Amino acid sequence: MRKAEGALVLKSLKEQVYDYLRQQFQKHRLQPGETINMDATAKKLGISRTPLRDALIQLEMEGFVTISPRRGIFVNSLPLDEIREFYQVIGALESSALVEAFPQLGAVGLKKMDALNRQMQKAIDADDYDLFYEKNLRFHDAFISLCGNHNLERIINNLKKRLYDFPQKRQWIKEWEESSIREHQEIVDFLASNDPQSAALFLRDVHWSYAVQEKYIRKYYGAGPS
């Protein structure tokens, strides 16, 4: 890909193309149902088809696109049924990760989670969506990164990419954000009371419950009744 003279690029060309395409999803320059023209995209980026193809294969594995040898490359939609399944899987995996990570969290880890949750509130007060989004991911990563299961981390991260990176409207549903902060506090309080099992159940059955969060999910993703 073209870059400024003297710029140091540490990522592989395939990784750069992958990041570029994800940005196009995030900025809604690639919409569900659209076709990605490989020749036109490669020409625009000043690259061969090989790194573009490799990036698209990764995106297909993550559920962002469908590659059809005869019909082309299509940007996938994100139906409610798929969101429901993602919530179920993430809830199960994160709750397991939280129990496994609890012995490693300690007072320092709990303090970090509490601080990140407070920073999420400050982000809302400042009307800073991007900061809220970043702190939210870091809150969960504070315990996921300590669970000792890299495959679990990878699966969670891939599913969250699908949920958060595209479609990402970058709009506030402040009632949902405020509710999320309260739920985070419940989790921290359970952990501070030396009760990781209750924290994990709350994480799975409330925070990542599709049924509990459905009204917000439908509003955020613009979905009507299923």
Task: Look at residue 192 and tell me whether its pLDDT is greater than 70.
Answer: yes
How far lies 174's CA from each of 42, 166, 171, 206, 217, in Å? Answer: 40, 20, 9, 18, 13
Task: Look at residue 5 and tell me whether its pLDDT is greater than 80.
Answer: no
Give φ, ψ of 65 to 5 degrees: -135, 165
% of the chain at pLDDT higher than 90:
76
Cα separation, 103 vs 209, in Å, equals 25
Ranges of CATH 1.10.10.10 domains, the chain: 13-75
What does the DSSP 8-state code read for residue 53? Answer: H
Q: What value does the mean pLDDT of the chain take?
A: 90
Ranges of CATH 1.20.120.530 domains, the chain: 80-221
Cα separation, 215 vs 55, in Å, equals 34
pLDDT one-digit tens code per residue, 112-148: 999 999 999 999 999 998 899 999 999 999 999 999 9
% of the chain at pLDDT higher than 70:
91
Task: Look at residue 226 and tell me whether its pLDDT is greater than 60.
Answer: no
Cα separation, 200 vs 95, in Å, equals 4
3-state secondary structure of 126: coil
The answer to whether 13 touches 51, Cβ cutoff 8 Å, is: yes
pLDDT one-digit tens code per residue, 18-42: 999 988 887 888 888 899 999 999 9
Topology annotation, domain 13-75: Arc Repressor Mutant, subunit A (1.10.10)
pLDDT for position 168: 54
Cα separation, 34 vs 13, in Å, equals 24
pLDDT for position 3: 52
End-to-end Cα, the chain, rounded Å: 42
Cα separation, 213 vs 226, in Å, equals 15
Q: Is CATH 1.20.120.530 correct for 80-221?
A: yes
Which of these, 166, 160, 151, 145, lies nearest to 208 by C-alpha position?
A: 160
| Six token digits for residue 105 | 């969290």
